Structure 1
Amino acid sequence: MQEINVKLDVFEGPLDLLLHLIKKLEIDIYDIPISDVTEQYMTYIHTMKTLELEVAGEYLVMAATLMAIKSQMLLPKQELEIEEEEIEGEDPRDALVAQLLEYRKFKYAAEVLSEKADERSLYYTKEPMDVDQYKDYNPKLPLNQLNTIDLFLAFHSMLEKRKKKKVVETTVATDDVTIEEKIQMIEAQIARLPRNKGCTFDSFFTGESRSEIVTTFMALLELMKTGRIKVEQEANYEPIMLYGTVGEQADDQIE
């Protein structure tokens, strides 16, 4: 099988990923448990490498920075006594916290400006134009439907669950399945289901080999990109369901 390299922009940069982890772990940004954050950060990096995604240099630089801070935190602290008051050395996390606070401030400002731009876009200062060619274009997803970023995070969660499962017996076999063949297998599996019935996201990952897992995920991304499947989740922590769209497209043409 020919090697395929894909770059998936899940986060806008390493600081964006760190803010996501801080929010997820529900920790104080001014008192970051550097060991926990570093472990979670490296787990995401390893997941991206498992998918053979291109990991930008800035992510690796941040990984090295976190490891350096973690090492400094393990060193004994030097304390100086001045007039019966103890003055501790500088916290090695201060520079990182300052960067995160500054990034969060500009990210919030960017979101506010984006909302203002959306509001301003509702005002028109030119004559009406023919927009019939765009009437079928709808960039917003329907209620409960997910995008590729949600699918990537679900894949990461599935990999973590598989690591915790103890393998009793493993059979090593040659894996010659291509992405195109996997797409056909997935479409056939969904087509056998009753109308309006879907498959869970985890049900497609039955193989044990790393190559087969990655091939399956790439096939799902391609099907989602071309609109041949849709991904929905009724509520947080509920199973992610995949549905075929071929029948819906046929109904639309009939109508």
Structure 2
Amino acid sequence: MSYKVKLEVFEGPLDLLLHLINRLEIDIYDIPMAELTAQYIEHLHAMRVLQLDELSEYLVLAATLIEIKSKMLLPVHEGEEPDGEFDFEMEPDPRDELVARLIEYRKYKEAAISLKESAEERSGHFTKPPEDLSALGEISIGESEEQLNVFDLIGAFQKMLERKRLRAPRTASITRNEKSVSEKMDDIMATLETRGGRCDFHTLFEEGDAPGLVLTFLSLLELMKRRDVIVEQQQNFDRLTVSVRREDV
């Protein structure tokens, strides 16, 4: 069975690059192209498995990253640094255009976030005359939880696929997956409940072939979208945990 999905949380390839730069704690003005390109392509492999509709524009930027990386590896010309490093005083840095695009994109992204926060704050203001609400009791507003974004989940999904590939037997059987996303969502919730409402991200992917793993991943995204589960990470690069969202009493 083939699954096609378009996710609103994917804002574009530049958004993925900024995510990787922040996660890897890279200086945006001195990007290590080899490391960044490798991480970017790893994410693309997982996105290809998920058959995401936006993949084409990500491939265009991947080609740009590879081109910049290749220019960084070109041999130096006469008069350049003897240690083989790129002399940026004599030749333009091939990363300059990419850095400029990222900085400009980050400005617009931060401005969009600021406008969204202003709109949400303004939505709480009304022109209706004040009334006595004491009869309604005290209203408590819970703090919003900072959760992982989809790029974090894509990275975890790619690592899980790689581990399964290394452990896979040489022979395989073809099975037909008859379950729907809705049914798989019920399975995930049942698994969480049997484990006390919380389990490791990789526990949900212990069994199943490639289509089944994709189905599980899409079902998990849908549960997150419906705010039925929370995916958390204690520290950078730690294992991800999935928990059932408990409403405050």
Give the distance between the partners of 1:27 and 1:95, measured in 2 at CA: 17
* RMSD across aligned positions (CA): 3.6
* 1:187-226 mapped onto 2 (5 Å cutoff): 187-190=189-192, 192=194, 197-207=197-207, 209-225=209-225
Report if aligned partners of 1:201, 1:242 keep a CA contact under 8 Å in 2: no
Matches within 5 A, 1:13-92: 13-78=12-77, 87-92=89-94
Structure 2, unmatched stretches of 5+, are: 81-87, 131-140
Shift of the alpha carbon at 1:126? 5.3
Shift of 1:26: 0.9
Q: Tell me: higher relative CO, structure 1 or 2? Use CA pairs within 8 A at least 6 residues apart.
A: 2
Deviation at 1:97, TM superposition (A): 0.9
> Residue 108 of structure 2 aligns with which residue?
106
Q: TM-score, normalised by structure 1?
A: 0.72
What's the CA shift for 1:21? 1.0
Tell me if the contact between 2:33 and 2:68 (Cα under 8 Å) persists in the aligned partners.
yes
Output the CA distance in 2 between the equivalents of 1:232 and 1:201. 8
The aligned residue for residue 134 of structure 1 is none
Residue identity matched to 1:212:
G
Q: C-alpha separation between the residues in 2 aligned to 1:115 and 1:190?
A: 33
Distance 1:7 1:174, change over 3 A: same
Q: Which amino acid aligns with 1:241?
A: V
Q: Distance in 1 between matches of 2:233 and 2:58?
A: 33
The Cα of 1:203 is off from its aligned counterpart by: 1.4
| Superposition map of 1:72-151 within 5 A | 72-78=71-77, 87-125=89-127, 146=147, 149-150=149-150
Equivalent residue, structure 1, for 2:175: 175
> What SS class does the counterpart of residue 88 from structure 1 fall into?
coil
Indicate the SS of the match to 2:244: strand
Whether contact under 8 Å (2:41, 2:62) holds in the other structure is yes
Q: 1:87 to 1:188 in 2, by over 3 A?
A: closer
CA-CA distance at 1:66 after TM superposition: 0.8
CA deviation map 1:196-242 (0-9, x unaligned) = 54333321211252122112222333445556x42354844465133
**Cα distance, 1:90 vs. partner?**
0.9
Distance 2:3 2:126 in 1: 44
Q: Do the aligned residues in 1 keep the contact of 2:198 with 2:241 (CA within 8 Å)?
A: no
TM-score w.r.t. the length of structure 2 is 0.73
Q: Does the Cα contact within 8 Å between 1:230 and 1:243 map onto a contact in 2?
A: yes
Structure 1 unmatched runs, 5+:
129-139
Matched position secondary structure for 2:52: coil
Partners of 2:34 and 2:69 within 8 A in 1: yes
Shift of 1:181: 4.8
* C-alpha contact (below 8 Å) 2:201/2:239 kept by paired residues: no
CA contact (8 A) 1:79 1:87 kept: no
CA gap 1:9/1:241 in 2 versus in 1, 3 angstroms: same
Identity fraction in percent: 42
